[in-house]
Amino acid sequence: MSDGNSILIDVQDVWKAFGDHQVLKGVSMRVHKGSSDVILGRSGIGKSVLLKSIVGLLRPERGSIHVMGEQVIGMKTKELNAIRTHIGYVFQYAALYDSLTVRENLEFPLRKHTTMSESEITDAVMQQLELVGLEDAVDKMPAELSGGMKKRIGLARAIIKKPTLVLYDEPTAGLDPITAREISELILSLEEQFGITSITVTHDIECAQLIANRIYILEDGVFQHSGSFEDLRRSDDPTIRAFFKLVL
Amino acid sequence: MEPRGQNYLQFTLARFRHTMEEVYGVTVFGLKFFPYMFRRPIELGQIRKHLDDLGAKSIPLLTVVGLIMGLILALQSRPTLDRFGAGGFLPAMIALTIVRELGPVITALIVAGRVSSGIGAELGSMKVTEQIDALEVSAVDPFNYLVVTRVIACSIMLPLLTAYVDFLAIFGGFVAEWIAMNSSFQLYFTEVIQSLRFYDILPGVGKTVAFGYIIGVIGAYQGFNTSRGTEGVGRAATSAVVLASLNIIFLDMVIIQLTFLFLGTGV
């Protein structure tokens, strides 16, 4: 079990393989309430695998993952779903339901898990769209949106139920630098407004600089280094320097 | 020569193993449906949507097929029956052929082509774009929301569509008879109704519930197991049609044998 009430996520010695390819080799991390932690690493290193394991989409072979004090590995779907209602997940390519409009995408979690009235749902949707600056897109289909707009709508959908924890999977991947910075600033602003705890998986060092309280660097299936942005920036380790030379 | 033979053997064994894994996978997937039928929440809104998407939108195609099937059956059979002096049996022959066999199987194959591929492609696309994962992390059971609703819709809609096609095909037979022999509507349909018995209609329409189940389950299984991006989506759609069609024909053969065993040939 997690030691202390302030720990929201406690990952201990997690191992995950796909066939013969061992992706995670004993990953451990602790995320405290209100903290914004960032996992940095090269593409294909297993960052998203860890995120999906935390939310129960993947099942590690070894180790333990406690979310809000509950062990999620091996948990039954019903109990897992009870935890998932407190978690928002922003997918790399937004994963908007492409047969639904933006409005219906945002309404979906509210209709499934709340007893809000029609007018309350409409108000909540418009409020979220205002937060992400996309009120005009309310009746558009996902196919009509740009990559940046999709990310914003994905973000709005993830936080519409005011979750305790938000997991961001490459929130700035595939965006131009200006839009990527806007998304990073939006994440920061939403976290400050709602006091959300978050884990962000990225290889965007500028995004990490902006939003991270603590950074973990995933390499060879384990966290080789962790610390604040400034701690890591001052490090002489070649792996860390390889990441940080982009902003130094 | 020997290495080539060895390779061929390995290839055949690998294919056989893959096929058996697929059979096992689709069987487990299909059996999972039954306990879900009694599990809440029942997604009535989704079932209604799929009844419309999967069933009602097949009506234009099935209307054309049903009418033409009856017309062709009458046109092709009339000369042969006349040769044996059995032209008067044509309405009964058309009714029995359509209701017992052609109506259910042709309807199921057409719906498999239109619907099973659609389900495979739609769910496959949702899989590769992480929409199924998005449902799951939203604490919504994707199997209940996406699969159970479609399988129920297919199983409800197929018997209704079959009854519709049966009627149209029999009517198509009448049109051919009316053009060729100036038969009366009343005489034709009296003979049709007199020739049909309960155990002609029940297995004919009843087996389409199982065909609907196959169409839904195989389409959904292929979609849920899609990999390799858009190429995989195309493959899921194609495999869904091929496997659903093969299974429909195989199941039809089994049901015919069981019908004969328990209800007799009806002759």
Mutate to test the interface with A, among B40, B49, B130 (most CBs of A within 10 A): B130
> How do strand A165-169 and strand A197-202 relate by DSSP bridges?
parallel
What are the E-state strand segments in A68-221?
70-71, 87-90, 165-169, 197-202, 214-219
Tell me if B125 and A98 make a contact (CB, 8 A cut-off): yes
pLDDT at B265 (0 to 100): 63
Looking at residue A2, what is its pLDDT? 42
Contact B139 A85 (CB under 8 A): yes
Instruction: Give residue B3's pLDDT band: very low, low, confident or very high (50, 70, 90).
Output: low
Q: CB of A27 within 8 A of CB of A39?
A: no
Q: Note the ipTM here.
A: 0.88
For residue B40 the two structure tokens come to 């809440």
pLDDT digits (tens, 9 = 90+) for B94-107: 999 999 889 999 99
Any idea what DSSP says for residue A164? S
CB contact under 8 A, A84 and B138: yes
For residues B67 and B175, the answer to whether their CB atoms sit within 8 Å is yes
Determine whether the interchain pair A112/B129 forms a contact, defined as Cβ–Cβ distance below 8 Å.
Answer: no
Within 13 Å of residue B28, how many CA atoms lie on the same side as its CB? 6
User: If 0-12 CB within 10 Å is exposed, 13-18 middle and 19+ buried, where does residue A60 land?
Assistant: buried
Return per-residue pLDDT of chain A as tens, 248 residues.
Answer: 444 568 899 999 999 999 889 999 999 999 998 889 999 888 888 999 999 999 999 999 999 999 998 999 989 888 999 999 999 999 988 899 999 999 999 999 999 888 899 999 999 999 889 888 888 989 999 999 988 899 889 989 998 988 999 999 988 887 888 888 888 888 888 888 888 899 999 888 888 888 888 999 998 888 888 888 888 888 888 878 877 765 54
Residue of B nearest to A58 (CA): B133
Please report, for chain A, the start and end positions of each structural domain, with discontinuous segments joined by +: 7-244
- What is the structure's pLDDT at A220? 87
Which residues from A are below 8 Å from B138, CB to CB? Answer: 84, 108-109, 112-113
In this prediction, residue A89 carries a pLDDT of: 94
Q: Is the pLDDT of residue B5 over 90?
A: no
pLDDT of B266: 55
Contact between chains at A91 and B125 (C-beta distance less than 8 A): no
Distance CA B138, CA A90 (A): 11
Query: How many Å lie between the alpha carbon of B129 and the closest alpha carbon of chain A?
Result: 6
Q: Is the pLDDT assigned to residue B49 strictly greater than 70?
A: yes
Q: Does pLDDT of B215 surpass 90?
A: yes
Condensed to tens digits (0 to 9), the pLDDT of residues B145-178 reads 999 999 999 999 999 999 999 999 999 999 998 9
- Mean pLDDT across chain B: 89
Q: Any idea where the domains of chain B sit in the sequence?
A: 42-263
Is some CB atom of chain A closer than 8 A to the CB atom of B44?
Answer: no
pLDDT of residue A100: 92
Residue B232 has pLDDT above 80, yes or no: yes
User: Which residue, chain included where needed, has tokens 């979220």?
Assistant: A128
| Residue corresponding to tokens 């995933």 | A218
Helices (H), A39-76: 47-54
| CA–CA gap between residue B100 and residue A140 (Å, rounded) | 48
Check residue B147 and report its DSSP letter.
Answer: I
CA distances from A173 to A15, A16, A204, B213 (A): 26, 24, 8, 41
The tokens describing A137, both together, are 């897109």
Q: What is the pLDDT of residue A66?
A: 94
The mean pLDDT of B113-138, rounded to a whole number, is 92
Looking at the domain A7-244, which fold is it? Rossmann fold (3.40.50)
Q: Which pLDDT score is estimated for B263?
A: 73
Helix (H) or strand (E) holding A31: strand A21-32
Range in A119-128, A208-217, B129-138, B222-231 with the lowest mean pLDDT = B222-231
Helix (H, G, I), strand (E, B) or coil at A225: strand
Task: Mark which residues 175-234 of B lie under 8 Å from A by CB.
Answer: none
- Residues with Cβ within 8 Å of B236's Cβ and at least 6 positions away in sequence, in order, are B120, B121, B123, B124, B222, B223, B225, B226
Q: In this model, does residue B249 exceed pLDDT 50? A: yes
